[in-house]
Amino acid sequence: MKIHIVKIGGNLINHTEFLNHSLKSFLKLSGKKILIHGGGSKANIISDKMGITPKFIQGRRITDKETLDIVVMTYAGIINKTIVAKLQSYHCNALGLCGADMNCINSSFRSKTDDIDYGYVGDIQSINTSFIKFILNNNIVPVLCSITHNSKGDLLNTNADTIASYIAISLTKEGDEIELHFCFEKKGVLRDLQDSESYYKKIDFNLFQILKKNHTVKNGMITKLENAFFALKNGVLKVSIGHTDNLNENHKTILCL
Amino acid sequence: MKIHIVKIGGNLINHTEFLNHSLKSFLKLSGKKILIHGGGSKANIISDKMGITPKFIQGRRITDKETLDIVVMTYAGIINKTIVAKLQSYHCNALGLCGADMNCINSSFRSKTDDIDYGYVGDIQSINTSFIKFILNNNIVPVLCSITHNSKGDLLNTNADTIASYIAISLTKEGDEIELHFCFEKKGVLRDLQDSESYYKKIDFNLFQILKKNHTVKNGMITKLENAFFALKNGVLKVSIGHTDNLNENHKTILCL
């Protein structure tokens, strides 16, 4: 079956008006759909209030136990349930999930290197596609946050873009036609960060290598593009990066191999 | 069908060792089961860290928007997902839910009185028993936190004991045989708060009126007993108050009309 997988992040989550608008665009997509969200900057605000300074290495949050509690509270708690309550108010039968629920997303602690101990960060081991299809087939809309688990009782922090790609790939392997949309507050991958209209219509893998080398893309955008190409290389039908306003239109960056 | 509904609260939640032990006792119950949890004192700890002082009137938390965010983060976030991850590690197919998920528990803002505006507190309007039975029939164990929603996009704070009673009553009306267990860190309703062995083996409705009058029971225990008798009066088969250690035994307070 055809399934839209939409990942929302950035300022689309933090501002009520943007979030409402994004959810309405999401609901306009026809057919089966899955929503996946991060919430990093909201977690930063809550960390601040609790007097904890977030740590990052190469764009990835270093998650000690205290930080894990904050991201679980933020992603699986306030953001996930706010989205579910809003979707329910729009008559969408949403079900909020983290990776531990129904063993949706199994992960393992990321291996330490000499330089970095990521802490409570999980690398995905498996996706419970049969559960995801079970709920989609029952006309339920899953809303997944970026918390996974290792089946040993640990919750782990996992990049939401990566979760979106893995779910897209797992469902593709089951024979489903997946359109994967990475959405944020920009119209696409920008040539010039100061010019919101300067987005690339199309980026192929070679261009991505050039953009990385000349630093047109950096930090989180590299991770997003890597996840996008990882999905394409594993057979996902369509992958794009853009604003939720243009989910149903072509004003976005289309990725191709 | 026979269904155990177990509500856990108090210190059973806040201490890892007590929580692990409680969950193992819960899993020993035979047949279908539902876990419901509060988490008030954990929310107090997080409020403190964020510099917010919790307010109570007649044992009930006054929930302004800031406090709502904290209880949603705490109940639906860290507590709910910690429990789900632990249950999954014990090979129990748990699914964490708040009342907004699948429209599980619909509520409305509690009416203001001249004296009190409870804020974001929800009085239950309906329970989605068909969804609850759908997941029980698929051998999924629902883990419900005490956050509900009003179908207009608002999340609301609702007493976990009350949720347990309403779910027990709704399933009873569907013809199910419900055993409702209110669990906390004591062996039952105590005659003497200093003596942990002084619990009542049985409390009927008349005795409850006497215990209220002579202040043997007060505050949260009155609410708990009111919820327990409300369930019994609405046909729930068995209702008890006690420790999770004794879920399968008779060392607890049995309620009767």
Q: Provide the pLDDT for residue A61.
A: 65
Per the CB < 8 A criterion, the answer to whether A177 and A170 are in contact is no
> Using CA atoms, how far apart are residues B162 and B146, in angstroms rounded to an integer?
9
Enumerate the residues of chain A whose CB falls inside 8 A of the CB of residue B100. 81, 84-85, 88, 94, 96
Cα torsion at B116, B121, B125, B128 (round to 10°)? -170
Residue B59 pLDDT more than 90?
no
Per the CB < 8 A criterion, the answer to whether A151 and A103 are in contact is yes
Q: Provide the pLDDT for residue B116.
A: 83
Nearest to B154 among A78, A85, A138 (CB): A85
> Using CA atoms, how far apart are residues B185 and B27, in angstroms rounded to an integer?
18
- Put residue B151 in one of left, alpha, beta given phi > 0 → left and psi -120 to 50 → alpha: left
CA-nearest residue of chain B to A147? Answer: B81
pTM of the model: 0.96
Give chain B's length.
257
For A213-222, give one letter per residue: b (16+ CB within 10 A) or e: eeebbeebbb
Enumerate the residues of chain B whose CB falls inside 8 A of the CB of residue A42. none
Based on its alpha-carbon atoms, the radius of gyration of chain A, rounded to whole angstroms, reads 17
Enumerate the residues of chain A whose CB falls inside 8 A of the CB of residue B88. 100, 103, 149, 151, 153
Q: With bands split at pLDDT 50, 70 and 90, how would you rate the model's confidence at B201?
A: very high
ipTM of the complex: 0.95
Per the CB < 8 A criterion, the answer to whether B96 and B90 are in contact is no
> Using CA atoms, how far apart are residues A150 and A100, in angstroms rounded to an integer?
8
Q: How many CB atoms lie within 10 A of CB B29?
A: 16
CA nearest neighbour of B124 among B142, B96, B102, B103: B103
Which of B95, B135, B140 should we substitute to test contact with A (largest number of A Cβ atoms within 10 Å)? B95
Query: Which tens digit of pLDDT belongs to each residue from B17-57?
Result: 999 999 999 999 999 999 999 886 888 888 888 888 877 77
Q: With bands split at pLDDT 50, 70 and 90, how would you rate the model's confidence at B98?
A: very high
Query: Which tens digit of pLDDT belongs to each residue from B123-175?
Result: 999 999 999 999 999 999 999 999 999 999 999 999 999 999 999 999 999 99
Cα distances (angstroms) measured from residue A66 to each of A61, A70, B8, B84: 12, 7, 24, 19
Q: What is the pLDDT along chain A (257 residues), one digit of tens a residue?
A: 999 999 999 888 988 999 999 999 999 999 999 999 988 788 888 888 888 887 777 766 688 999 999 999 999 999 999 999 999 999 999 999 999 999 999 999 999 887 788 899 999 999 999 999 999 999 999 999 999 999 999 999 999 999 999 999 999 999 999 999 999 999 999 999 899 999 999 999 999 999 999 999 988 899 999 999 999 999 999 999 999 999 988 899 999 99
> How close B4 gets to chain A, by Cα (Å)?
20
Enumerate the residues of chain B whose CB falls inside 8 A of the CB of residue A49. 50-51
Which residues contact residue B193 at a Cβ distance below 8 angstroms, ignoring those fewer than 6 apart? none
Which of A20, A27, A95, A151 should we substitute to test contact with B (largest number of B Cβ atoms within 10 Å)? A95
Q: Provide the pLDDT for residue A60.
A: 64
**CB-based contact A78 B98, cutoff 8 Å:** no
Q: Provide the pLDDT for residue B54.
A: 76
Q: Which two tokens stand for residue B21?
A: 């032990």
Enumerate the residues of chain B whose CB falls inside 8 A of the CB of residue A149. 84-85, 88
Q: Provide the pLDDT for residue A22.
A: 96
Which of B101, B143, B149, B154 should we substitute to test contact with A (largest number of A Cβ atoms within 10 Å)? B101
Strands B94-97 and B60-62, bridge-based pairing: unpaired
> Using CA atoms, how far apart are residues B12 and B185, in angstroms rounded to an integer?
6
